[in-house]
Amino acid sequence: MSMKLSEATLKKLYEILLETDQQMIQELRECDTKVIMAFRKYYQGSQNEMEAFRDEIFGILLEEKKKSFCQGAKLPQIDSEECKELFEGFDDF
């Protein structure tokens, strides 16, 4: 038994995932700005050292974000009606 999604269903799923990716990118940008601003308040070293610190912090944050995403904590929320519409496209073979 295999299942086939309609083109409209695949497009809708793609749009949901794209929106989720864009939200994650925006959150990371906002976080980047906050980290750099906070670091500038207390650090008087070189720009390269500040960026290295930021990159290390973001490595940690990104790893945590990946964990929560993989555990389902940040999966896109789809209401039941939208979910029903998405899976109307399944055909059983």
pLDDT given at position 80 = 60
What residues of the chain score a pLDDT lower than 50?
1, 73-74, 91-93
The whole model's pTM is what? 0.47
Taking the C-alpha atoms of residue 37 and residue 54, their distance in angstroms, rounded to an integer, is: 10
Domain boundaries, the chain: 7-88
Nearest by Cα to 19 from 76, 88, 86: 76
